[in-house]
Amino acid sequence: MPSPIINLSALEPLYLPHEMPTHHRVRAKKEGDPAEKVKGRRPSEIVIAQNLRHYVTEWRDTDYAGASDTTRELLYHWFGRDHTIKNSEGDVIPFRYYFCQREALETFIFLREVRGLDTLSGIVSEFGGDNREIAALGIDPEEDLWSKYAFKVATGAGKTKIMSLAIVWSYFHALRESYSPMSKHFVVIAPNLTVFERLKEDFGDGAIFDRDPLIPVAWRGDWNLSDYVT
């Protein structure tokens, strides 16, 4: 059998992992032709996500207007400074968070701190599209008693890193901001043994908080998080 022909140009990235998406590919109009490169980010089919992208981008471009000093310092530290880390072989290499990790964390902070939205009905009524108010009324109040946020990112895109960013933000917000509603205590639940082993590698003994540039050097003395793995 002949070897399959792979168009290597279709595998070339359109932007770097830490950059905001600038182009995307769509199926060619003619069968057999290569995919077409289209300017702009691929729209999300999730209405709330698509709308939030616009607002979070504007918020980022205004230097995080309305955020606390703690939040702005952490966001600048994570995404505005150059970092290096040691790889598994002990070599020092440059490090930058992926854009999807950055945007997920920014969206969480935008909703929680800047807009003060901690219910699904509140988020839907603000960003749910044309029928957002009706959709918000359809949410069962008993299912909306606890704050729930979800990060939908591709497999291998670094959900663990997003979790670590959210933990550090919550911890220091609770520590440094008066009347902060955030927490300094966290529970990470694994859905199965495979994920548990991976999480144990990152969170066991606080490894990820020592390995990644999560905590500003001047704040290290205030970081006091013990972990318990069961």
What is the tens place of the pLDDT at every residue in 105-138?
Answer: 999 999 999 999 999 999 999 999 888 888 888 8
What is the tens place of the pLDDT at every residue in 134-175?
Answer: 888 888 888 888 888 988 888 888 899 999 999 999 999 999
pLDDT band at 6 (very low <50, low <70, confident <90, very high): low
- Out of 6-15, 65-74, 136-145, 191-200, the most confident range is 65-74
Report the pLDDT value the prediction gives residue 50, as an integer from 0 to 100. 94
pLDDT band at 30 (very low <50, low <70, confident <90, very high): confident
Pairing of strands 23-26, 92-95: unpaired
For residue 125, give the H/E element and its range. helix 120-127
Burial class (CB in 10 A: 0-12, 13-18, 19+), 115: middle
Report the pLDDT value the prediction gives residue 7, as an integer from 0 to 100. 67
pTM summary value: 0.90
Alpha carbons 83 and 203: distance in angstroms, whole number = 20
CA 180, chain centre distance (Å):
21
Residue boundaries of the structural domains of the chain: 47-222
Mean pLDDT for 54-62 is 96
Report the pLDDT value the prediction gives residue 114, as an integer from 0 to 100. 97
HEC string for 15-80: CCCCCCCCEEEECCCCCCCCCEEEECCCCCCCHHHHHHHHHHHHHHHCCCCCCCHHHHHHHHHHHH
Mean pLDDT for 186-214 is 90
Compute the mean pLDDT over every residue in the chain, rounded to the nearest whole number.
90
Alpha carbons 214 and 90: distance in angstroms, whole number = 19
Least confident of 2-6, 159-163, 165-169, 206-210: 2-6
